[in-house]
Amino acid sequence: MHIVDRRLNPRGKSLENRQRFLRRAKSAVQQAVKRSLQSRNIRDVLDGGEITLPIDGLTEPGFRRGEGGISDQILPGNRAFVEGDIIPRPPGRSGGRPKEAGEGDGEDGFRFVLTREEFLDVFLDDLELPDLAKRRLTETEEESPVRAGYSVSGSPSNIAVGRTTRMAMMRRIALRRPRIQEMEALRREIGECEDDEKRLALEAKLKALTEKSRRIPYIDPLDVRYRRFESEPKPVAKAVMFCLMDVSGSMSEHMKDLAKRFYLLLYLFLSQRYKKVEIVFIRHTDKAEEVDEETFFYGPATGGTLVSSALAAMRTIVAARFDPAEWNIYAAQASDGDNSYSDGTMTGQLLRHEILPLCQYFAYIEVGEEDSDSSVSRSPLWTLYEGIRAEQVPLSMRKVCRRNEIFPVFHDLFQKRDAQSKVAP
Amino acid sequence: MTTTSMSKQRLLFNGADWDFPTLQRVHDACEEIALGELGLDVYPNQIEVITSEQMLDAYSSTGMPLFYRHWSFGKHFAHHEAFYRRGMRDLAYEIVINSSPCISYLMEENSATMQTLVIAHAAFGHNHFFKNNYLFQLWTDADGILDYLNFAKSYIARCEERYGEVEVERTLDAAHALMSHGVHRHAGKTKVDLRDEERREQERRVHEEQVFNDLWRTVPTGKKRTAADVGLEKRRLALGLPQDNILYFLEKSAPLLQPWQREILRIVRHVAQYFHPQRQTKVMNEGTATYVHYRIMNRLHERGQISDGNFLEFLKSHANVVFQPNYDDRRFSGFNPYALGFAMMQDIERIVTAPTEEDRAWFPDIAGQGDAMSVLRDIWADYRDESFINQFLSPNLIRQLRLFHLYDDPEQEEGILVSAIHDERGYRRIRRQLSREYDIGWIDPGIDIVDVDLAGDRRLLLRHNVTNDWFLQEADTKLVLQHLANLWGYDVLLQEIDSSNEVVKEHTASPRRPIQ
């Protein structure tokens, strides 16, 4: 007999087959990924996940018998029937033939798990993304002390008093050091005692206790504990990404989808650069509010349009939670370009003097309907921003109408800048 | 034997942990019982320890350790994996390959008891069955299969290099669609020798290269004879029609196929043929392996080589394996081949050793014969599921399983008829019917190639004999016929014929893009 340990054989023997399958199912997988993107959170996209594929085009046909026809079947476990009984057919079944095990597998499409890489591949493929990873930047890290329990040695300034007394008390209890109250009581008893003999006994006892308490000190060097610190690399690189979106009635589903994809890319991009990326969703009509992702993309809202409200909200949030000295601040604004006429000045002021100085980068994408022209825009917002952009500020703007335009635009917006530029390193 | 007294003093293992020496001890102890006491006859064993991921791999390439590449295996992998990850399905404990040496896969996650069970089950039970059952002896070549698969893998890889992945995939897809109709069902041909096959393929190629002479293209051909000259019968005879092995027919006669495509058809056909006996012996094969592991594990326990605790663990998984839910149980999904097979093996043992009057009447040949193992060994060698059940399903077991027969004719408005139950009148009918459910010839639609007009429009004519109004499933049939037409290169017509020889339904397909 032969025993072979195959566990260390190269893994992923099925990888090739799996890739062939994905290649073959490419369009179906892309559809599925697209569908799943619509129902997923931005953060979850990084995890890959389960995909449901329709089975069309992936069937392996064979000559099989169809439904109907006379069927005979032997079954186990008869309790009540006798020969000649007629059993009514269960409703909803044409032939009386119960489904064989496994027969139903995959009829409504089947689910399988895409790894993170596979998922991103498909996702980015759809966006025609060249290797994003090539432009990954090095990150600087800084060490900072973090509490890491207690140790028996350390510097006096780090003595943990609470822990030390606790240790001392444990030791005193364990070694039965006489308690002070106990000795007091004994002394009192001696003072009140009339009987000499008894007093002598008590004094002897007190002496023994006193000696014992001298032998077992109240605090022993053994008890001393010090707070211990470990230095932990701490990412200095933190980024916050503000997603600003106009959700007034003029924004269609298609436009929101474009915006979502843009935000997704931005998130992917930032999370490759920074250890920690926060996302803040701000939607606005004529007033702005911070919302969760669900509400951001799917919540119904309508009303007029005041872009300045969103910028003002962003300013407030930055002031409250994201110190610009510590955080790299990015903002991406998606809008169809409409703004109320009276808001123009206010928006321009806010953007120019308040927001842009805070930001590493401010990207404005104007989303349009699928059939519109993405090369031109004469929207009020576009015109306004165009004026600001002339002033050498970290502001970029593009118009996007079709899904496959997202990546080039993104790429364009985020291509590497030279060191002098005020834009992100 | 000295080892017997030695092993009596010592448990094979303790607790759940195992290591390679444990496996060796377990194998040797099982072997002692299997060969010495049960009289089994096995191929040399090879035991391979694998991870669960590798088990998934093995699953998706039909259990074979090496296989050519194809997307459908990737699909199966993805499918199994999704189920496994969600915890909806356990992995099988074992996979065993009908080859010499007989390869059994053990998963590293199994406990020592499970490894013992698997070794007893696969390395001795299945192994014995593979080596001794007549179907396997007739149709499979255990010595050659691994080499042949290796050859197939590299041959197909070479084809991909030379002719492109797409072309090869197209051919393989088509061949897979016809795979179930790519076996010789009737023993008439001599046993395949896969090594020989591989050698012959090389010779064919060398020969073609040697005799290649471009001049032959210019040789004038004689006057074409018309179809009438040849005559229907003669034509059929020349093509070996009617033919139910569609892949074989295409390989030999499809006019437009390239030599490498014929070779791919041959590979798929050989693989189908290799697995064909397994399809026909599910109940027997699992029954044998389960019976063998049950006997071996009990003996090991009797001999004190397995502790009571470990033996209980074994009994628990054994009970799971042979669990047969009733028809009205939510878990019911047809007969569990392990349960049915094991029950029948045990029943036969009972008939041989302690028969009742009824058994003597029903099984005069074996009742009370005394030596259960020798009777079982003969049965394991000479039967397949259909004949096995038809011969050995006893009234006793029919009562025990409370079997009954449902007859469902859609024409009958009132409902389904209970046409037989486990009583005197029902035994034979139930037995006959159950055995028919395991008859591949009965389950698979019978489709024959009946004619082809080689001199005329070259249309291929197939017939499906419809029994019990079971017509072919429309959508799938269309797809398969398309594949068939692509391989054949000309139109294809499939007629469905009822019992009175009337054509009831027709399917046609034209080659969409002839394979070249």
8 A C-beta contact, residue B323 and residue B336: yes
- Structural domain includes residue A140: no
* Partner-chain contact B71 A24, CB within 8 Å: yes
Q: Is residue A378 part of a domain?
A: yes
The verdict on residue A390 lying in a domain is yes
Q: Which of B27, B328, B415 sits opposite A77 (nearest CB)?
A: B328
Residues of B in contact with A9 (CB under 8 A): 50, 54
Both tokens assigned to B403: 């079997």
Q: Read off φ and ψ for residue B106, nearest 5 degrees.
A: -115, 135
**CB-CB contact of B178 with B447 (8 Å):** no
A73 touches chain B (CB under 8 A): yes
Predicted TM-score (pTM) of the model is 0.67
Q: Do A2 and B47 count as a contact with CB atoms less than 8 A apart?
A: yes
Rounded Cα distance between B356 and B344, Å, is 16
Residues 295-354 of A with CB under 8 A from B: none
Q: Please tell me the distance from the alpha carbon of residue A283 to that of residue A301, in angstroms, as a whole number.
A: 9
Final residue belonging to a domain, choices A204, A227, A250: A227
Could you tell me which of B89, B73, B446, B174 has the C-alpha nearest to residue A102? B89
Do residue A321 and residue A338 come from a single domain?
Answer: yes
| A374 Cβ contact partners less than 8 Å away, ≥ 6 residues apart | A368, A399, A400, A401, A402, A405
Residues A209, A334, single domain; the answer is no
Residue A322 has pLDDT above 70, yes or no: yes
Model confidence at A423, pLDDT cuts 50, 70, 90, reads: very low
Contacts of B139 (CB under 8 A, 6+ apart): B184, B187, B191, B192, B273, B274, B276, B277
Cβ distance of A58 and B329 shorter than 8 Å: no
pLDDT of residue A155: 87
pLDDT over 70 at A56, yes or no: no
Query: Poorest-confidence range of A10-19, A190-199, B93-102?
Result: A10-19
Pick A157 or A392 by higher pLDDT: A157
pLDDT value, residue A134:
27
Judged by CB atoms closer than 8 Å, whether chains meet at B61 and A14 is answered as yes
Containing H/E element for B503? Answer: strand B503-509
Asked if residue A207 is part of any domain, the answer here is yes
Statement: residue A122 has pLDDT above 50: yes
- Cis amide prior to A178 (ω within 30 degrees): no
Average pLDDT, chain A: 75
* A interface test, pick of B404, B419, B424, B428 with most A CB neighbours within 10 Å: B404
Domain range enclosing A54: 16-60+110-125
**Shortest CA distance from B49: residue in chain A:** A5
Q: Residue B391: pLDDT above 90?
A: yes
Residue A67 resides in a domain: no
Mutation target for A interface from B52, B398, B406: give the one with most A CBs within 10 A.
Answer: B406
Q: Which of B79, B334, B473 sits opposite A101 (nearest CB)?
A: B334
Q: What is the pLDDT of residues A144-160, one digit of tens each?
A: 778 888 888 888 888 99
B206 or A227: whose pLDDT is higher?
A227
A291 belongs to a structural domain:
yes
Sheet with B45-50: list strands edge to edge.
Answer: A2-5, B45-50, B102-107, B94-97
Question: Running DSSP on this structure, what letter comes out for residue B126?
Answer: I
In a domain, A104, yes or no: no
Do A249 and A352 belong together in one domain?
yes
A241 forms beta bridges with A279, A330
Same domain, A220 and A256: no
Which helix (H) or strand (E) covers residue A53, if one does?
A: strand A49-53
Q: Which of A338-342, A380-384, B226-230, B446-450 has the lowest mean pLDDT?
A: B226-230
For residues A223 and A257, state if they share a domain: no
b/e burial code for range A174-183 (CB count within 10 A of at least 16 → b): eeebbeeeeb
Q: What part of A 133-162 touches B (C-beta under 8 Å)?
A: none
**Which residues fall within 8 angstroms of residue A176, CB to CB, at 6 or more apart?**
A212
Same domain for A356 and A208: no
A314 plus A371 within the same structural domain: yes
Please tell me the least confidently modeled range out of A45-59, A94-108, A270-284, B275-289: A94-108
pLDDT tens, position by position, B486-511: 999 889 999 999 888 888 889 998 88
Listed residue (A404, A422, A423, A403) closest to A413, CA to CA: A423
Contacts of B27 in chain A (CB under 8 A): 1, 3
Lowest mean pLDDT among A282-291, A387-396, B378-387: A387-396
Residue A107 sits at the chain B interface (C-beta within 8 Å):
no
Same domain, A313 and A191: no
Specify whether the CB–CB gap between B426 and B404 falls below 8 A. yes
Cβ contact B234:B100 at 8 Å: no
Q: Does residue A279 sit in the same domain as residue A403?
A: yes
Probe site for chain A from B27, B75, B124 (most A CB atoms < 10 A): B75
Q: Minimal CA–CA distance to A121: which of A183, A48, A178, A58?
A: A48
Mean pLDDT on A219-237 = 78
pLDDT tier for residue A142 given thresholds of 50, 70 and 90: low
- A171's enclosing H/E stretch is helix A161-174
Q: Which two tokens stand for residue A420?
A: 């002098």
CA dihedral A177, A180, A182, A187 (to 10 degrees): 120
Give the span between the Cα atoms of B75 and A21, in whole angstroms. 6
**Residue A24 domain-assigned?**
yes
Q: What are phi and psi of A104, to 5 degrees?
A: -80, -5
Cβ contact, residue pair B324, A58, below 8 Å = no
pLDDT of residue A45: 61
Give CA separation, B14 vs A123, B47, B304, in Å.
Answer: 51, 21, 12
Most confident listed range (A18-22, A219-223, A327-331, B88-92): A219-223
Interface test with A, best of B470, B471, B477, B505 (most A CBs within 10 A): B470
For A274-405, where are the alpha helices, taking DSSP H only? 293-298, 307-321, 344-349, 356-358, 380-389
At A124, the pLDDT band (50, 70, 90 cuts) reads low
What's the pLDDT score for residue B175? 93
A176 and A309 belong to one structural domain? no
> Please, what sign has the CA dihedral across residues B265, B268, B273, B276?
negative
How many Å apart are CA B344 and CA A331, to the nearest integer? Answer: 73
Among the partner residues B48, B50, B445, nearest to A65 by beta-carbon distance: B445
Number of domains in chain A: 3
Task: Pick the range with the lowest mean pLDDT from A181-190, B196-205, B227-236, B418-427.
Answer: B227-236
Look at the alpha carbons of B329, B331, B337, B342 in this order and tell me if their dihedral is positive or negative.
negative
Asked whether B428 and B401 are in contact (CB, 8 A), the reply is no
Any idea which of A275-289, B163-177, B287-301, B431-445 has the lowest mean pLDDT? A275-289
List of long-range contacts for B185-193, beta carbons under 8 Å, 24+ apart: B185/B244, B185/B245, B185/B276, B185/B440, B185/B441, B187/B138, B187/B139, B191/B137, B191/B138, B191/B139, B191/B141, B192/B139, B192/B140, B192/B141, B192/B270, B192/B273, B193/B141, B193/B144
For residue B394, CA distances in Å to A225, A349, B387 come to: 80, 94, 13
First to last CA, chain A: 64
Partner-chain contact A75 B404, CB within 8 Å: yes
pLDDT for residue A364: 85
- Dihedral sign from CA coordinates of A113, B60, B66, B31: positive
Band the pLDDT of B157: cuts 50, 70, 90.
very high
Give the C-alpha separation, A193 to A208, whole Å: 18
Q: Which of A35-49, B270-284, B446-460 has the lowest mean pLDDT?
A: A35-49
pLDDT bin (cut points 50, 70, 90) of residue A36 is: low
Q: What angle do CA A46, A49, A50 make, to 5 degrees?
A: 160
Q: Which residues in chain A (4-43) have CB-CB distances under 8 A to chain B?
A: 4-7, 9, 11-14, 16-25
Read off the pLDDT of residues B5-14 as tens digits, 9 standing for 90 and up: 444 457 888 8
Give the N- to C-terminal CA distance of chain B in Å, as an integer.
Answer: 66
Q: How confident is the model at residue A128 (pLDDT cuts 50, 70, 90)?
A: very low
pLDDT of residue B212: 66
Chain B residues lying within 8 Å of A3, measured CB to CB: 20, 23-24, 27, 46-49
Alpha carbon of B210: minimum distance to chain A alpha carbons (Å): 36
Banded model confidence at residue B516, pLDDT cuts 50, 70, 90: very low
Q: Are residues A195 and A219 in the same domain?
A: yes
Residue at which a domain ends, from A227, A253, A285: A227
Contacts of A202 (CB under 8 A, 6+ apart): A186, A189, A190, A193
Is B227 a residue whose pLDDT tops 60? no
Q: Which residue has the higher pLDDT, A341 or A100?
A: A341
Same domain, A284 and A384: yes
| Structural contact between residues A266 and A332, judged by C-beta atoms closer than 8 angstroms | yes
A106 touches chain B (CB under 8 A): yes
How close does chain B come to A48, measured CA to CA in Å? 13
| Locus of tokens 């240790």 | A167
pLDDT of residue B392 exceeding 90, the answer is yes
Say how many CB pairs under 8 Å bridge A and B: 259
Instruction: Give B-chain residues touching A84 at CB under 8 angstroms.
Output: 417-419
Contact check, Cβ <8 Å, A1/B27: yes
ipTM for the complex shown: 0.80
- The tokens for A299 are 């919540």
Q: Which CATH number fits the domain that encloses residue A326?
A: 3.40.50.410
Summarize pLDDT for B411-437 with one digit per residue, the tens.
Answer: 888 888 888 888 888 899 999 999 998
Mean of the pLDDT values across residues B287-293?
A: 95
As beta bridge partners, residue A235 has A141
Work out the average pLDDT over B378-392: 94
- Give the pLDDT band (50/70/90) at residue A127: very low
CB contact under 8 A, B407 and A78: no
A74 in contact with chain B, both atoms CB, cutoff 8 A: yes
pLDDT digit string, tens, across residues B103-152 = 998 888 888 999 999 999 999 999 999 999 999 998 888 888 889 989 99
Burial class (CB in 10 A: 0-12, 13-18, 19+), B160: middle
How far from A32 is each of A122, A254, A405, CA to CA, in Å?
10, 17, 20
> Distance between CA B290 and CA B117 in Å, rounded?
9
Task: Verify cis geometry, omega within 30 degrees of 0, for the bond prior to B101.
Answer: yes
Most confident range (mean pLDDT) of A382-391, A395-404, B177-186, B395-404 is: B395-404
Taking the CA of residue A43 and the nearest CA in chain B, the distance in Å comes to: 22
Q: What is the mean pLDDT of residues B375-381?
A: 95
- For the record, the structure tokens of B202 come out as 């090389």
The confidence score (pLDDT) of residue A40 equals 60
Least confident of A83-87, A99-103, A244-248, B160-164: A99-103
